[in-house]
Structure 1
């Protein structure tokens, strides 16, 4: 079977997940709002409904220092500036009264001047941001100067005027040249230094409009600012019903700042009242009808809430099948928020691997073990030798312990330390392992070598009496929907199994559909976190990037977050990329973004086992050394 290439990417740019997490932590610290999420969009903006702020892609493809400083300046502007000091009342009043003719230009002028005002405010409060904003201003000045020339040549006067105002604010109008009659606005542009509030900025923009409305006949073609959409400001436009409790009416008071808007949306999302009941209040709810004899009008698409079966002797297989499906759904666990925001609708089941034991599989298992026996024996002997060496190692030059036979230090050293200690012998390595095996469909052509690698892993740890767990993980792509994403973990070997031989289970590994890596890592982490061993490791065998329902865009970021979360819990995550060819530079870069330096690749199917052994050797050498 030909290999399935899972690296079809329509956007070749991958997210620097760890860097974004750093920015996210900064945003949360500045806002004191622990639910803020960061992403990248065309323009920097707030998205209260999703509890998200966006930094601009404007900073991509620049020198690293400039890109980093620019993104930080976005975050400071959003979270230290607009978050706290942008007046929502003044903004709404302005939008309701401004001229519709140049509405886009006027909105962007307000946001442009607010950015200037807030930058001054932030730099006075946080001196350390001065360098960041200096980089920001210089970069945007070069951009607006270029755009001023282009827009002037094309006759886009409204866009050119916006560029002209930006340059005039930061460089002074004396050194700014633009299309004819733009200089009429020079005096007003300088008044931006006098603006102390959002309201004073809107008044200045009104004055600019009165002055330039006869010159600027068409609105802007491009958008330079987004910040906040009008639809996300107000979430209280409900049609209240008689009989609603006061606590269910939502919040009627208007919000003063973006911070209040965010926190209001967060409260609404947590509660079952408010916004989420609007559909139910307006249209009724799906459920059992009251048994008062009243008829209920049916409607297309209405979900089945009960199934009735008559007493006729017809075929009831369909109903029985439905009952089995419902029982299976009820037995599955709900992930909720415990496993990350991307998995709130995930349901999962944990079960033992079904073994198809027969004479052929037993012979195959015996053959695999005969092939691997020399490697297992050599590896185990080496580890035991290292452990034995550790037992007899001496710690010398101590102030207490056993008296050394070399007493010359009593005369040669000013402060002699003539004692030594032997390290206490260790019966076994103080470590625990969890192995997650990718059960996605693309693993089909790699199953034989994957089984061999997993078997080698299992046999080595059994010989060394190291606790370990092996699980196959996958998502049911056919049953997955927006409401629910069913996942399965098939235990091949459980922690509780001890040294039991689960070779037949390993040979029963099969491919299924999708893989939700971030969720699976957190699941395995939960299994290991309370273990008594000093060293905890999770190995992930996969042949590509995360792929599951609604997980394509955020899977990389979520998996990287899961890795960092586990590292904070003292659980090390290692990754082995299973492939039949050399990994591309793009693939290597992606895995380094997710797993950091703890990732390895197998360049061919035959090298899966070799790479597995190499990874185990490095890990166990570290464990022996630190014991």
Structure 2
């Protein structure tokens, strides 16, 4: 079978997820909107339906300083400028006016507003001056180069945009005698105090430009983003439709526009509860809920004398195979349209001979590791530290008489009957795993046998997305359990040998889903291992999938969940690939390109993790 190499070698574009995350935190802080997301697009854009501000990829492939300052200036401009100081009412009125040159007209206004708001931010926030100076230097050079190209090609509208930008930065270029007089109107922007002032200046220029120019701008240097008339869908609840109609919400700023989208999205998640909280329950008003207490039991549980809560695994398994669940904002904005299914993976008895062969090869590794770990655990339980200044008084009291500074105390390490740890293993179920299924199954079986031998609770789950059914409205994802926490030491080798490859992988979503389960565990040490053979790849999950995965790893670490990544490859990993995965997983990403390495790296990950547990135990 031919190898499917998921890492695109011809694409050298990599995302600095750490930098992008910093920009996201900065944008949320400056706009006082923690829900804000930051993405990258061709130009700076405002996208309220995604709760996102988009930085421009214009800054890529430059020095680190210029790239960082460029992104910072984008964030400053959007989160501290346009966010509260751009008038949407004026923009709406501006857009309603028909023009023979609509692109030129809109780009001139956005150019004017960028200049006005940049100057405003530099005065109100002096610390932003360095980033804006870098921005102006780079864009000045860019518009000078573009003006030469547009002049050669006789793109007069595009040339005018270049000249407009440069004139505000003290640079003049020749645009012809007919356009010369417009520069005096344009320089009035130095006195503009509001969006309305900018609109008046641009409209005065357009009155003449529509007669002087025959064609509109061919290039796009400025764009606004989503259409301002695109309002959030309101989720009506019984009895409040009329109130909404009587009191339409007025939106004057970008901040209010984004807040409206964010608020409606949140309401959509719990519409019934929202209505009951605000309006009360009509059934209660009529004398109580009908047939109260007759509802079907959704879940059962059992307890023991220690007070530990345990879910009934049989009931949970039945619920898993029922209706699919919707993500709806619970697992990151990039996964809002995901619908996920949870089920047990069905085992096949056709793999018994294969499993025996695998275990015959792995037995020495498993025994060696178990022996080493159990020895360390025994030493930890029985170890005694003597000659201490405090602790239990030793029976050997001779040092009190003989020594000048006796230390007659000792401490015995508290015994620990079992390891206070829990492990989860997520396995990439995408199509590119086809050529390495056997090696992956053996590595997973090794993982399973070691943790069973130590009686450590663990889960093993296959995750994938159905690429053929995915659409803008819905992206079906599947989680198939091979082993669950409740199974404890039960042998699921046949189930592990039965899993297969499917289509796509949505890694950030899977990590958040598993982290949610791990958060409910009471163990001190929680580990999440991801077995994957390539970058995230799913519907509308290309570049933002890398960022989403990096954010999911960061979120898991904040919840005290250690995320480890094992990259499975059929060929030797390149430095570019290693750097790519470090951007998502930090220094907790290792690679393997052969069966021996699969075993070695799996053992190394387990050994390092379990040694940490024993040491702190």
- With over 3 angstroms needed to count, the CA separation of the structure-2 counterparts of 1:267 and 1:464, relative to structure 1, is closer
In structure 2, distance between residues paired with 1:401 and 1:134 = 67
Structure 1 residue 55 corresponds to structure 2 residue 55: yes
In structure 2, distance between residues paired with 1:407 and 1:76 = 70
Instruction: Identify which of 192, 197, 202 aligns with 1:200.
Output: 197
- The corresponding residue for 2:275 is none
- The corresponding residue for 1:4 is 4
- With over 3 angstroms needed to count, the CA separation of the structure-2 counterparts of 1:602 and 1:195, relative to structure 1, is same
User: How do 1:399-548 and structure 2 match up within 5 A?
Assistant: 421-548=411-538
- 1:45 is displaced (CA, Å) by 1.5
- With over 3 angstroms needed to count, the CA separation of the structure-2 counterparts of 1:572 and 1:192, relative to structure 1, is same
Q: TM-score scaled to structure 1, two decimals?
A: 0.80
> Structure 1, residues 74-122: CA drift from partner, whole Å, max 9, x if none?
1111111111011122223333447x24433332222112111111221
In structure 1, distance between residues paired with 2:365 and 2:240 = 72
- 1:435 is displaced (CA, Å) by 0.9
CA contact (8 A) 2:384 2:410 kept: no
- 1:346 is displaced (CA, Å) by 3.5
- With over 3 angstroms needed to count, the CA separation of the structure-2 counterparts of 1:158 and 1:395, relative to structure 1, is farther
- The corresponding residue for 1:221 is 218
SS at 1:232 equivalent:
coil
In structure 1, distance between residues paired with 2:398 and 2:366 = 41
In structure 1, distance between residues paired with 2:243 and 2:588 = 51
Gaps (5+ residues) in structure 2? 270-318
- The corresponding residue for 1:20 is 20
Structure 1 residue 593 corresponds to structure 2 residue 593: no
- With over 3 angstroms needed to count, the CA separation of the structure-2 counterparts of 1:210 and 1:351, relative to structure 1, is closer
Gaps (5+ residues) in structure 1? 274-326
> Structure 1, residues 424-463: CA drift from partner, whole Å, max 9, x if none?
2333332110011222333233222222111111121122
- The corresponding residue for 2:167 is 168
- The corresponding residue for 2:188 is 191
- The corresponding residue for 1:123 is 122
- The corresponding residue for 1:114 is 113
- The corresponding residue for 2:262 is 266
- With over 3 angstroms needed to count, the CA separation of the structure-2 counterparts of 1:367 and 1:103, relative to structure 1, is closer
SS at 1:573 equivalent:
strand
- The corresponding residue for 2:30 is 30
CA contact (8 A) 1:47 1:232 kept: no
- The corresponding residue for 1:279 is none
> Structure 1, residues 239-284: CA drift from partner, whole Å, max 9, x if none?
xxxx9941453864542112222223334445579xxxxxxxxxxx
- With over 3 angstroms needed to count, the CA separation of the structure-2 counterparts of 1:345 and 1:74, relative to structure 1, is closer
Structure 1 residue 75 corresponds to structure 2 residue 75: yes
In structure 2, distance between residues paired with 1:607 and 1:19 = 32
SS at 1:145 equivalent:
helix
SS at 2:563 equivalent:
strand
In structure 2, distance between residues paired with 1:555 and 1:203 = 43
Structure 1 residue 255 corresponds to structure 2 residue 251: yes
SS at 2:526 equivalent:
strand
Instruction: Identify which of 528, 553, 557 aligns with 1:563.
Output: 553
- With over 3 angstroms needed to count, the CA separation of the structure-2 counterparts of 1:366 and 1:94, relative to structure 1, is closer
- The corresponding residue for 2:323 is 331
SS at 1:6 equivalent:
coil
- The corresponding residue for 2:281 is none
In structure 1, distance between residues paired with 2:522 and 2:70 = 45
CA contact (8 A) 1:435 1:541 kept: yes
Q: TM-score scaled to structure 2, two decimals?
A: 0.81
CA contact (8 A) 1:44 1:225 kept: yes
CA contact (8 A) 1:440 1:515 kept: yes
User: How do 1:73-152 and structure 2 match up within 5 A?
Assistant: 73-97=73-97, 100-152=99-151
CA contact (8 A) 2:233 2:264 kept: no
In structure 2, distance between residues paired with 1:253 and 1:460 = 60
CA contact (8 A) 2:92 2:228 kept: no
User: How do 1:39-50 and structure 2 match up within 5 A?
Assistant: 39-50=39-50
- The corresponding residue for 2:316 is none
Of stretches 571-580 and 252-261 in structure 1, the one that deviates more from structure 2 is: 252-261
In structure 2, distance between residues paired with 1:211 and 1:464 = 82
In structure 1, distance between residues paired with 2:340 and 2:233 = 38
In structure 2, distance between residues paired with 1:409 and 1:467 = 52
Q: CA RMSD in A?
A: 3.4
Aligned residues: 560
CA contact (8 A) 1:396 1:421 kept: no
In structure 2, distance between residues paired with 1:177 and 1:475 = 54
- 1:409 is displaced (CA, Å) by 13
SS at 2:349 equivalent:
coil
- The corresponding residue for 1:159 is 158
CA contact (8 A) 2:428 2:463 kept: yes
- 1:199 is displaced (CA, Å) by 1.2
CA contact (8 A) 1:123 1:129 kept: yes
In structure 1, distance between residues paired with 2:436 and 2:200 = 67
CA contact (8 A) 1:429 1:623 kept: yes
In structure 2, distance between residues paired with 1:103 and 1:477 = 39
